Chains A and B, each alone.
Chain A
Amino acid sequence: MIEQEKQSSDLFGDLTIDPMAKQYLRSMSGWAMVIVVVSVIGYALSIIDLFRGKRPASFNRAEGFNMSFTESASGSEVFSSLLSIAIGLLINYFLYRFARQAKAGVEGLSQSELNSSFGNLKAYFMACSIILIIAFVLLLLAAMVLGTRTAMQ
């Protein structure tokens, strides 16, 4: 039994969250919270912008029509914007949980909170990677379709 405990201690007991690691974790938590707050404000601005129907016009010079400086968003634009905001909120939710739990874990010396915060950090990186891969694949597909269309014309 004692031998087993000793082995367990040898396996995981050597690394600690020392004062420097604590300082880094506090700093990580602070910056993560800054990212979350900035992102949420940005999403709020995007939503307001989307529904007030006053957005900068893109260079839309089709068939000699005049460029209007205010234009309302189409249904697909609203849908894609809301989808990207929802994805962004999901990613930032993991980051927010990491920031909150890491701070609580370090300040309150709570091992379970700290472990949970690392789990949320993992979820944040995982969500970012998966979403990036999906976006990348969709972009490649769009480029291929566009290239095929251009070649056929």
Chain B
Amino acid sequence: MMEDNQSFLDLQVDEQASTQLTEASRWAKFLGFIVLIALGITVLMFGMLWNKLDSWFLTYEEMDAESTRVVKVVVAVCLVIAVVIGAILMTFLIKGANSIRAGIRQKDQALFNIGLGHFRNYLAMMGVLGVIFLLFALIGFFGR
């Protein structure tokens, strides 16, 4: 009897919730794939323009051959870090979307919770990155 009352009072993944969550996970998966494709194209373009970067940097008076090489390496390292972070973020999003959809379809509570966990990880990582970027922005803002 108490269990019945408990389940009656508990929040459910009802028809509306399951429709909204299925749609949300569909868009989340789509977003994840778009970002992964965009990251791939960025890396591809960077690879294609790698040799042209020398002449581009050398148009600046302050740059010589040695500093151009250093700047290229720094840009490449930053790009790799950005791509890795982006790929991890989008993996959370795609995994979360897949788990939530499968959880709703198969009525699997554990899978559904795993999906929510992946979405939580995505938002947490975005939040931490946001705080780090805000700190840099504040340093730049008050440092000038």
Residues of A close to B144: CB separation below 8 A: 54, 56
**Are A119 and B31 touching (Cβ within 8 A)?**
no
Q: A42 is contacted by which of B11, B124, B137 (Cβ under 8 Å)?
A: B137
Q: Chain B interface secondary structure, helix, strand, loop or mixed?
A: helix
**Are A38 and B123 touching (Cβ within 8 A)?**
no
**Are B126 and A24 touching (Cβ within 8 A)?**
no
**Are A136 and B20 touching (Cβ within 8 A)?**
no
Whether a CB of chain B sits under 8 angstroms from the CB of A5 is: no
**Are A115 and B17 touching (Cβ within 8 A)?**
yes
Tell me the minimal C-beta distance from A30 to chain B in angstroms.
Answer: 8
Residues of A close to B24: CB separation below 8 A: 118, 121-122, 125
Whether a CB of chain B sits under 8 angstroms from the CB of A82 is: no
**Are B116 and A15 touching (Cβ within 8 A)?**
no
Cβ proximity bits A105-121 to B, threshold 8 Å, 1 near / 0 not: 11001010011001101
Q: B120 is contacted by which of A16, A28, A61, A106 (Cβ under 8 Å)?
A: A28
Complex Cα distance, B81 from A16, in Å, reads: 39
**Are B11 and A109 touching (Cβ within 8 A)?**
yes
**Are B34 and A132 touching (Cβ within 8 A)?**
yes
Residues of B close to A118: CB separation below 8 A: 17, 20-21, 24
Residues of A close to B59: CB separation below 8 A: 61
Cβ proximity bits B34-76 to A, threshold 8 Å, 1 near / 0 not: 1100100000000000000000000111000000000000000
Q: B141 is contacted by which of A17, A45, A115, A132 (Cβ under 8 Å)?
A: A45
Q: B119 is contacted by which of A11, A28, A35, A41 (Cβ under 8 Å)?
A: A28
Complex Cα distance, B24 from A17, in Å, reads: 17
Q: In the complex, what residue of chain A is closest to B17 when comparing beta carbons?
A: A115
Complex Cα distance, B20 from A28, in Å, reads: 16
Q: B117 is contacted by which of A24, A42, A121 (Cβ under 8 Å)?
A: A24
For chain A, residues 17 to 66, give those with C-beta under 8 angstroms from any C-beta of chain B: 17-18, 20-22, 24-25, 27-28, 31-32, 34-35, 38-39, 41-42, 45, 48-49, 54, 56, 59, 61
Complex Cα distance, B34 from A77, in Å, reads: 27
Residues of A close to B13: CB separation below 8 A: 12, 15-17
Complex Cα distance, B93 from A81, in Å, reads: 28
Could you list 7 A-B pairs, sorted by A, with CB under 8 Å? A21-B112, A27-B124, A42-B130, A42-B134, A115-B20, A122-B20, A129-B27
* Residues of chain A whose beta carbon lies under 8 Å from any beta carbon of chain B: 11-18, 20-22, 24-25, 27-28, 31-32, 34-35, 38-39, 41-42, 45, 48-49, 54, 56, 59, 61, 105-106, 109, 111, 114-115, 118-119, 121-122, 125-126, 128-129, 132-133, 136
